[in-house]
Amino acid sequence: MASITDAGVVRSFNEDAIVTEPDLGLALVADGMGGYKAGDVASGMAASIMVSELKRQLREAAPTADSIAEILESSLNRANRAIHKAAQANPQYHGMGTTLVAALFHDNRLHFAHVGDSRLYRLRKGKLLALTQDHSILHEQVALGLISHDDARTSHNRNLVTRALGVETRSQCEVQDQTVEVGDVYLLCSDGLNDMVDDVNIELALNALQANLPLTARQLVMMANDNGGHDNISAILIKVLAPFPAEVQSRGLFGKLFGWLK
């Protein structure tokens, strides 16, 4: 596993939060928003609450595919309530919120949840695929045929999300799962990456550099900054080197077999 976060060229502070928990099989990116630097409060709260809740619930009982989906959703809802409550109680935090994408690897499957426009990609056999669909005005416009994909890249609406943690009393998250294959590379990122670097060039970088994930992560950030660096940039890269059945994870060997790269 490799992770990186960068303020970008334009912004003076970083409101993204990233988490990597190899022992848990967890990776998470949150992209905060809000005035007076409240975005970093929202993203930090989301990250810390998600990790503590997932640790607690996953260790209470042997997880199953169904229970992991429920655990992800309940953890997101708890984070959402905490952020919303803090925003209501503190005037300086009013209006704060955060996008979030979380990936949890268990028993040869990937379970993932997202809210907003932070993304999860998969590179399999050289082909890049976005596993999440943005909760954004722009995505809805493209889906309805109101704007082309090319025009979407320069649209002023590209950062307007329709869902975020902390904005409403209950989160509207999406939770999915799928089988993992050896050789897969997964990328979690904030929109500061994919707004500046299109999918074609992300795919090229991953294919060229995936043997060295830390180098790949640095290259992605450099590409985003070279293209303007208009937002904070965060990325987590994970490559699957071996199967990770539940019994292996339970013996604490998950990190070695899964191939986390520091």
Collapsed DSSP state (helix, strand, coil) of residue 5: strand
Whether residue 23 contacts residue 257, with contact meaning beta carbons closer than 8 Å, is answered with no
Between helix 38-60 and helix 65-89 the angle, nearest 10°, is 150
Is beta strand 16-21 parallel, antiparallel or unpaired with respect to 233-239?
Answer: unpaired
27: β partners: 20, 103
* pLDDT in the model for residue 11: 93
Burial 50-73 (b: 16+ CB within 10 A, else e): bbebbeebbeeeebeeeebbebbe
Is the C-alpha dihedral spanning 120, 16, 94, 136 positive or negative?
negative
Tokens 């848990």 belong to residue = 24
Query: Cα–Cα distance between 93 and 148 in angstroms, integer?
Result: 36
Sheet of strand 97-106, all strands in order from the earlier edge strand to the far edge: 16-21, 26-33, 97-106, 109-115, 174-179
CATH fold, domain 2-258, is: Phosphatase 2c; domain 1 (3.60.40)
pTM: 0.91
DSSP class of residue 146 equals: S
Instruction: List per-residue pLDDT tens for the chain, 262 residues long.
Output: 999 999 999 999 999 999 999 988 999 999 999 766 799 999 999 999 999 999 999 888 778 888 999 999 999 999 999 999 999 999 999 999 999 999 999 999 999 999 999 999 999 999 999 999 998 766 666 666 667 666 656 656 666 788 999 998 888 899 999 999 999 999 999 999 999 999 999 999 999 999 999 999 999 999 999 999 999 999 999 999 999 888 766 655 455 445 443 3
- Cβ–Cβ under 8 Å, residues 47 and 19: yes
